[in-house]
Amino acid sequence: MIEEIDAQRLSVLAQYNEAKKPVDNEVIEKLNIEIRNIEQRIQAAEKELNDKEVLLEAGAVSRDEYDLALRNLDFEKGNLEKARLDLDQYQKPVSSNILAQYEAQLKQLDIQKQGLMDSSKDFTISSSIDGTILFKNLDEGSYLQPGMHILEIGNTDEMYIEADILVGDIVKFEEGSEVVISSDDLALANIKGQVEKIHPRAFSKISDLGIEQKRIKVEIGIDEIGVAIKPGYELDVKIITDKSENTLIVPEKAVFDMAGKDYVFKVVNEKALLTEVETGIESQKQIEILKGLGEGEVVILSPDNDIEDGIKVKTNK
């Protein structure tokens, strides 16, 4: 803004100095000589035009030759008018009102510049925290508006992970629950963390399938020191809602429901044996078996409707 005022002031000052410039007698003399020369050329052009008119009436010259002489006379008259206007401009003194206008403009620009310089401290935006610039929304020289988003500043020494959890899953864990973090992009695997904060308010979010879902924002801290996570990256997080050690598990596809109870087809002596089981903790891929199976026993994965109790089966070894 100050640079713009300086540029305006230079322009006004140049006009002001030009208006104050004293009369140049040499220029005036040159204009007088030019006017006399033009007047002589006009006299010669008028004589030539009169001669052409006589010859045109006698059929000795063409209409084009006469018109050319006429245009030449008009041209010289135009030059004379311009030269006389230039002479009047140089001889006429500049009005004191015009000089006063220029002086007023210069003073006004000086006042504006001083005002900007005095209030420049009000244009400095300072961050209330120390940190690293994570995002810059504007380039140098851009104009600012109230409420405009300029920068994002964060403390990279105190980073946390933000996850949007489905409302239906939020009751399965609490602040302090264990979290396992991984990322192929950052080459991270099985990094330990914990739920630090569960926000109280739910919000709507459109899923990748275009379905509107209610979710709650959860903040996850990282327990391990020196983990190289970076702002803006996507991470995979698994919140541990329950755990069991030294337990028996089977693939989730092996267990099916029948009459409200859980069953598997266990393979015994190359036959499918319908076996009721009691399940425990479930994940997306595995199910804990509390009763009904023993370690090392073989079960059928994804049994279809053709599998019946006692049917003969073959196993892939």
Give the pLDDT confidence score for residue 99 in this predicted structure.
77
Residue 306 confidence (pLDDT) above 90: no
Q: What angle do CA 171, 177, 178 make, to 5 degrees?
A: 135
Q: How confident is the model at residue 122 (pLDDT cuts 50, 70, 90)?
A: low
- Could you tell me the CA-to-CA distances from 313 to 257, 309, 316 in Å, in that order? 21, 11, 10
Domains 160-239 and 243-317 are alike in CATH topology: no
CATH of domain 160-239: 2.40.30
The mean pLDDT value of the chain amounts to 87
pLDDT at 179: 94
Q: What percent of the chain has pLDDT over 70?
A: 94
Unique residue bearing structure tokens 């755990």? 243
* Mean pLDDT value across residues 108-112: 87
The CATH number that domain 243-317 falls under is: 2.40.420.20
Look up residue 210 and give its DSSP letter: S
- The domain ranges of the chain are 2-112, 160-239, 243-317
pTM of structure: 0.47
Q: What is the pLDDT of residue 39?
A: 94
Distance CA 50, CA 42 (A): 12
Taking only the tens place, the pLDDT of each residue in 47-75 is 999 999 999 998 888 999 999 999 999 99
CATH class for the region spanning 2-112: mainly alpha
DSSP at 122: G
